[in-house]
Amino acid sequence: GINRGIFGVQTPKKIAIEELIMELERLNPCPNPMENLPKLDGNWQLLYSTISILGSKRTKLGLRDFISLGDFTQTIDIAKMKAVNTIEFTVPAFSMFRGSLTITASYRITSPTHVDITYESSTIVPNQLMNLFEKNYDLLLGIFNPAGWLEITYLDESWRVGRDDKENIFLLEKLPSS
């Protein structure tokens, strides 16, 4: 597995993945996603991203051996113009201790394909997980903070591709409604 790209991907595989994403973007059935908001509404799971946590960042956050990343999900609420990103963590050394970082952001539509994103709040639960990240919380938020802008370059009923102002790419799959 490529662990969603977070810990880096070898160059040939990264090129192949990003070529497939560009092919998806060329076939985009919804060129103006902000004019079709119901397709955006709901729960999404991150499959691949070019956000990376490498070297000393990975060590400082304990992500080498101590803490493992779980699912990355995003809930978009078009009525409230909010997005909630949740990153799940496990600490295998402590009987699979689990927790999550949740980041809430608002967005404002700026064009048929773009939104401006404003960070609102973040929480880590349970408190014991916050204790593990406390010294490096700003580093953690710096990696996952969605503030800036996002262009949605592909959208259908099942898939979404976005590119942000930090030159990151995101490939997400829509989760079934609950």
Q: State pLDDT tens for residues 3-45.
A: 666 656 677 888 898 999 999 999 999 999 999 999 999 999 9
Can you give the pTM of this predicted structure?
0.85
Q: What domains can be seen in the chain, in order of their start residue?
A: 3-174 (2.40.128)
Token pair of 81 as six digits: 């113009």
pLDDT at 167: 92
Asked if 44 and 173 touch (Cβ cutoff 8 Å), the reply is yes
Q: How far apart are CA 172 and CA 113, in angstroms?
A: 16
CA–CA separation, 126 and 110 (whole Å): 36
- pLDDT for 90 equals 80
Give dist(CA 17, CA 169) in Å, integer.
Answer: 11
- In a 10 Å sphere around its CB, with 0-12 CB exposed, 13-18 middle and 19+ buried, how is residue 72 labelled? buried
- Between 17 and 90, the higher pLDDT residue: 17
Mean per-residue pLDDT, 105-128: 94
